[in-house]
Every structure is written in C-alpha cells, then in structure tokens.
Amino acid sequence: MMHSRSVEIWVGLFAAAGLAALFMLALQVSNLSLVSDDVGYDVTARFENIGSLKVRSPVSMAGVRVGRVSAINFDSRSFEAVVTMHISSKFDQLPADTSANIFTAGLLGEQYVGLEPGGDEAVLEQGSEIMLTQSALVLEQLIGQFLFSKASEGEEK
C-alpha cells in the first residue's frame, strides 16, 4: 500500500513539472515574461510600414535582446507608424545615429526591430528619435514587383 502511494506522489510531481514547463514555453512563444525590466529609457522611430510588428516584440542589436516595443501609434500628419521602444538601462551607450530595421525571424514569421549602431559620440536618451529606419519587407509587395517585372520583360521580347 505504501509503495503505490509513493508512486502516485511521484506521478503527481512529474505531471506538475510538465504543466509548469508547458506554461513557461507558452510565455516564451507569446513574448511574455514573469519578470519585467522597467528600468531603462524610451526611444521612438518612424516607419512607412511595420508589417505585423506588435507591442512586446523584441528589439535586438547584434542578436542580443536590448529591449521591447512598448507602443505603436499612427501619425496622421506624416502617415507613418510611430514605434516606441523601451531599451534596457544596461544598454545606455547606444550612439545617437543608430539605425532601426524591421526584420522577420523564425518559421512563425515573428517580426522584431533590429538596431545597428552608428558612429556618433552622442548617445540615445529618454525621448530620443531614431532617424534612420528601414520598413518591413512585405512579401506580397515583393512577389507583385517580381511578377510585374517578369511580365514587362515578356512584353519587350
């Protein structure tokens, strides 16, 4: 009787550990976290097209996550998307002429902001705006341009 009781306890502990692992995996896939880094500074960047970039998408530099997208707004005067990024305080020496690009990562097509440092001695601070940006590549537009160029080549021949 005692042997079956200990087996039941071990099976219960194993099942609980499995559920905890699934919960952590779900948090990772959805870009959520139990721990938040609220210390840091916010910078903005303007893009003509952000694709499917979302709030809480990663902001990375050289493959290292340096922050997250904290807000996405639309500027009705310039007709651009204004992306606000929260950069961790550990990365407070980013040059003021840093550029921002929107890239696609992984098989799921998750989009993120990639930063590339410039050479300026001044650094980004709270409220700074990144001026050099490159919008997301939209696959449908690329395919349309390719097909249009192939069709125009066929007409010339």
Domain boundaries, the chain: 1-30, 40-144
Q: In what order do the strands lie in the sheet with 40-47?
A: 129-130, 40-47, 80-88, 64-75, 58-61, 110-116, 99-105, 132-134
pTM more than 0.85 = no
Q: What is the pLDDT along the chain (157 residues), one digit of tens a residue?
A: 567 888 888 988 999 999 999 988 887 766 565 555 568 999 999 999 998 899 999 999 998 999 999 999 999 999 999 999 999 999 989 999 999 999 988 766 788 999 999 888 999 999 999 999 988 877 777 788 778 776 666 666 5
Q: How many residues does the chain have?
A: 157
